[in-house]
Chain A
Amino acid sequence: MPAASPGASDQLPAQFFSELEEAFDLAQTQEGIQRVSLRIGRRPLTLEFAGPSLVDLIVPALRHRRVSAPGPGAFTVKVFDSTSTSVTVPPPPWGPNDYLAQGEISGFNTDRFRTAFRVDAGCLSMIDLERRVAVFWIRDPAAFPRWMEAAPLRTLLGWWAAGQGLQMAHGAAVGTGDAGLLITARGGSGKSTSALRCLRDGLLYAGDDYVVVDPIARRVHSVYCTAKADDAAIDGFFPDLRASSHGRIVGDGSNKHVFFLDELYPEQISDLPLTALAVPALTGADTSGFAMSGAADALRALAPTTLFQLAGTGTNDFRLMAELVKTLPVYRLEVSANDGIAATVRRLLETAAGVPA
């Protein structure tokens, strides 16, 4: 699933994108428009909603990134649905065999356009990187999955980030004002719980699942102010959080609760300098610890789970992640349930500060 088919024609994608924008314009004419200005990594984004139906499903996870006014040259994401607006979108100009992994649409991913459709939610994401406009359409807001509330517009924001020289990464990030740790591994490795434990022990928090990395500036940008935790993690580490759950994710096997951390820890949701990488490993030992590891270990932990989890990624993303792991100290983070992982992460970050780049 390379991101784009080099040299593929933009004609059909451009025509379809134009029709999508016409449908959005009709919907916003009928239902009114709500604009939400965001800033991620100093880059401005404007979400335009046709009617109110999707605002409360998409904005909460992003509201810590809200700014009062759109920045100059903001990227625009047009958001609408058919059920509440009664506006239909044109039929897909592709066939039933053109739906690929991660919902990518064959023939509609070019250097300029990216297109993906999620059958499980009935939603379409399409971006025009040249005109700096994207469209998110969902047939029925009632089908908007809970996991998507925790990471809304993930596909589009991943494409947007790549167009800015940034990289959406599948990982958690925590740190201090001076140092930050990207914890990366595939799902089920304990990175979300570790990140939330660190937050509770006073560290800054950029995200538990998806963050945007600036490989040049070496910074991690927070995209979502959410965290997810299953019952075992809540019972074991955060029993008081249960009352703050915004509901469970069902359908993906995780059964995790979703939390909006900007309500609970508004001072600790933050972008971070990126000074170290860690691959977590759960251990039954009494204490947590860390050990130096190799860049190749980090690449194997970071790249596949990012590349295969996000639509429209490809060789460039892989190369960018390889460059990133070469420039940062990498550690194996041994996570114990029996002590404060935050203290270990603080020590790790202090150690990393002494490692020459």
Chain B
Amino acid sequence: MSNSERWLRVNQPTIAAEEIEGEVVVVSFDSGHYYSLRDTAADVWRLLDGGVSVGTVMEAFADGVPSVVGAFISALESEGLMVAAQANGKTHTGTIAVGPFSDPKLERFEEMSQMLLYDPIHDVDDTGWPNLPDNAGE
């Protein structure tokens, strides 16, 4: 399938995104990572989220390098932030409003991911509830 016939969508409900002051803040409820997208990265996110095809987004930046935009879009997919959407048939023939091109960056913050770590349940008591670790209640 060519990029001009490929669309992406935000991978809800495990991914949530909010745009504030031109910055897109993305949270992954699965990994505990959160992300900051600014400038061209935010433009790309906004266009994809708005139903513009991958191919059109790659060509949207007059002074941009389509392969660089394409690599960034691939990163969005490999991080699980966006996933394939059903074809919406939209074609964009006019000019798409974007800011000046800059290398799109996916800034990732990982410090909260440890909050999502949990111990597998190995042992339950005779009522079926997980046993307390030895240091519980200290």
Contact = CB atoms under 8 A, between A and B. Distances in A.
A353 to B, nearest CB: 22
Contact of B132 (A1, A101, A139, A303): A139
Q: How large is the interface on A (under 10, 10 to 19, 20 to 34, 35 or more residues)?
A: 35 or more
B29 A119 contact: no
A307 B27 contact: yes
Contact of B130 (A99, A142, A294, A296): A99
Interface stretch (A89-97, A152-160, A261-269): A89-97
Given A119-B133, A121-B136, A91 B20 contact: no
A354 interface: no
Interface stretch (B48-56, B61-69, B98-106, B120-128): B120-128
Interface in B87-138: 109, 111-113, 115-122, 124, 127-130, 132-133, 135-138
Nearest to B30: A1
Interface in A141-186: 142-145, 186
Contact of B115 (A142, A143, A309): A309
A251 B13 contact: no
Contacts of A309: 115
Nearest to A104: B118
A300 B116 CA distance: 17
B137 A145 contact: yes
A315 B112 contact: no
A140 B137 contact: yes
B29 A314 contact: yes
Given A143-B137, A145-B137, A315-B16, A88 B127 contact: yes
A213 to B, nearest CB: 16
Interface string A289-314: 00000111001100111011100001
B78 to A, nearest CB: 21
A300 B34 contact: yes
Given A89-B127, A120-B136, A303-B34, A101 B118 contact: yes
B16 A319 contact: yes
Nearest to B125: A139
Contacts of A144: 137
B121 A96 contact: yes
Nearest to A300: B25
Nearest to B18: A322
B32 to A, nearest CB: 5
Contacts of B74: none
A100 B118 contact: yes
Nearest to B15: A315
A72 interface: no
B37 to A, nearest CB: 10
B3 interface: no
A100 B129 CA distance: 15
B117 A101 contact: yes
B29 A2 contact: yes
B133 to A, nearest CB: 6
B23 interface: yes
B133 A319 contact: no
B128 A91 contact: yes
B13 A314 contact: yes
A201 B97 CA distance: 52
B120 A96 contact: yes
Interface of A: 1-2, 6, 88-89, 91-92, 96-97, 99-103, 117, 119-122, 139-140, 142-145, 186, 250-251, 294-296, 299-300, 303-305, 307-309, 314-315, 318-319, 322, 325-326
